[in-house]
A and B are shown apart, each in its own frame.
Chain A
Amino acid sequence: GENVEQHPSTLSVQEGDSAVIKCTYSDSASNYFPWYKQELGKGPQLIIDIRSNVGEKKDQRIAVTLNKTAKHFSLHITETQPEDSAVYFCAAREDSSYKLIFGSGTRLLVRP
């Protein structure tokens, strides 16, 4: 089955700097990759997703890139703000499936 690895487990950046979180997946059949932000005591919030027919997707300060050959995808947050501090999870899913397989999470701290 699919296995998703995520790193780093923790990331501390200065406000205004960029943050990058990386994930690798094992199943070449996976072709949908969402990213979720989870704040303390809340459920995961979908922030951006990408399908495998696209190499990059942007939404304001957030972007995701996908390298199908290497089976890895990354989340890029530019001009970080203290409110970006949270745990971020990547996930992978086969298009014919429905289960999301999650990474272990990255705790992002943005220092003011």
Chain B
Amino acid sequence: GAGVSQTPSNKVTEKGKYVELRCDPISGHTALYWYRQSLGQGPEFLIYFQGTGAADDSGLPNDRFFAVRPEGSVSTLKIQRTERGDSAVYLCASSLRRGSAQYFGPGTRLTVL
């Protein structure tokens, strides 16, 4: 079956611009997670959704980052006033329910020039 999909696969933007990254979870998965992976590091947690609500956004680095999941399926990670330090691979994962195994998408590589 279809796995987690993310678009775009690559995004290049200029410092100060706004970007949106999209995640389509596995069908039927109620839990959705965003992680960020810097070069040579393991993924780091950003935010977790259970259904439509953000159950924990404690990993978001600052208020320039925001995420939504309005219908409990697709999620969008939004970054305002991008900075060069935001450059990383943004990974989305989904699980059938909280506590189930997490399955990752291919990621979006964000480059801020």
Q: Which of A34, A43, A103 is within 8 Å of B101, CB to CB?
A: A34
Cα distance, A95 to B97, chains bound together (Å):
12
Q: Nearest chain A CB to B97's CB is how many angstroms away?
A: 10
Contact A43 B4, beta carbon cutoff 8 Å: yes
**Beyond A43-B104, A98-B99, A100-B102, is A91–B59 a contact (Cβ under 8 Å)?**
no
Contact partner of B43 (CB less than 8 A), chosen from A46, A49, A95, A100, is A100
Residues of chain A at the chain B interface (Cβ within 8 Å): 4, 6, 32, 34, 36, 41-46, 49, 89, 91, 95, 98-105
Q: In the complex, which residue of chain A has the Cβ closest to the Cβ of B97? A: A98
Q: Which of B29-63 contact A (CB under 8 A)?
A: 31, 33, 35, 40-45, 48, 55-56, 59
- Contact A98-B33, Cβ < 8 Å, known A89-B42, A104-B41: yes
How many Å from the CB of B106 to the closest CB on chain A? 5
